[in-house]
Amino acid sequence: MPRGMGNLTNLQTLSAFYVGGDVYHCGIDELTGLVNLKGELKIYGLNGVLRKNFPDLSTMRSVKKMILHWNNGSLVKCNYGDTEDDQSQYINATSVLNGLEPPKSIEELVVEVFDGSRLPSWMGNCSYLNLSSIRLDFCNDSCTELLPLGRLPFLKYLSVQGMNALRRIGPEFCGCTSRVAKCFPRLETLEFSEMLSWEEWDCNFHENSFRSLSELTIGSCSRLLKLPPGLSPSISTLELQDCDSLDSIPMLPSLTSLRLWGSCPFYLWSRSLCLPNLNHLLISFYQLHTLEFFANLPMLNIVRLENCKIEEVIGLQHLKSLKIMELRGCPDLKLTQDILQQSNFCVMFAP
């Protein structure tokens, strides 16, 4: 983008703002003049910020969604101008994100390909009363701690991915100073993915914390051992993917949908687990030859098996409410005529 963009003070719509890494192109400071922008603001090339003269984004009161994007450690260079690419000039990602504090009116925040070592304190500021959605995408192995995002009073959606250095999530994530404090009061959807070092999730929740949480997704967290016992009983959908070490899940009386993908402990619905309202079960890439069900799934209505090596299913007689079993990519599974004739459910074979 050419220099001078900041002079367009009446500009209301801008598809994206590209930070230039040299004197010929638009620097991050030129955002200061674009106070009338509305709707969504995408800022790309943040690893090309040369100086710490950050714009005051608090004046952009009509911007409702902000996307802050780094370029995976590299810059797309423009041929205009004869400049030297000196990476040592660029401001580190931690300082850049700290200096780009959004307006308090922001509703959605996306941080993409962030390679900093620390998140800014403003991200956990409870004065963001309109902030309902946060997605954090990391691409390094140095950031080891999450902020007290549980203080955000109206946060409904939170996704954290690629935080490979984090080993433990503790009470600091909730932002609760005592067990009587409520955290994440409006959060409905929580997602963690590609957290390859994460082992422990230890939070002492107040009984009203996570009270609105309905959907929890955990993917590619192969070292995580347990889920917190105090998670919201209102969770209705749980999705686990490549969680090899997870040996149990807490009591979830409202759970209606369970999805297990990849390398997961598929015995999570074993005899000792009570899932009285589970209605839908999806199992994908199950590697064992035998799949067994027990009598603790009284409301299970639909079972979907995808890309599994299953040869035999045991215990179908326990599933009194089963209506549909859908098979996709399970060539080795053979259901005997006795089972098919005695059962009240329909078997569907999908391509």
In a domain, 104, yes or no: yes
Please tell me what DSSP assigns to residue 178: S
Q: Which amino acid is at 178?
A: S
- Count structural domains, the chain: 1
β-bridge mates for residue 65, sequence order: 40, 108
The per-residue pLDDT for 178 is: 59
pLDDT along the chain (351 residues), means of 10: 90 92 81 94 91 89 96 57 57 94 96 94 93 93 90 96 92 72 89 95 74 94 88 90 85 91 74 82 89 88 93 87 92 74 77 69
Kindly report whether the global pTM for this prediction surpasses the value 0.85. Answer: yes
In a domain, 327, yes or no: no
For the residues of 179-238, what is the DSSP string, one character each? Answer: TTS---SS--EEEEE--TT--EE-----TTTTTT--EEEEES-TT-----TTS-TT--EE
The per-residue pLDDT for 88 is: 55
The per-residue pLDDT for 339 is: 64
Which residues form the domain of 191?
A: 5-287
In a domain, 77, yes or no: yes
β-bridge mates for residue 304, sequence order: 282, 326
The per-residue pLDDT for 266 is: 65
In a domain, 53, yes or no: yes
Contacts of residue 292, defined as CB under 8 A and 6 or more positions apart, other chains included, come to 313, 314, 315
The per-residue pLDDT for 174 is: 86
Question: In this structure, what CATH number is given to the domain that contains residue 52?
Answer: 3.80.10
In a domain, 269, yes or no: yes
In a domain, 330, yes or no: no
8 Å CB contact between 50 and 21: yes
In a domain, 328, yes or no: no
- Residue 37 CB neighbour total at 10 angstroms: 20
In a domain, 201, yes or no: yes
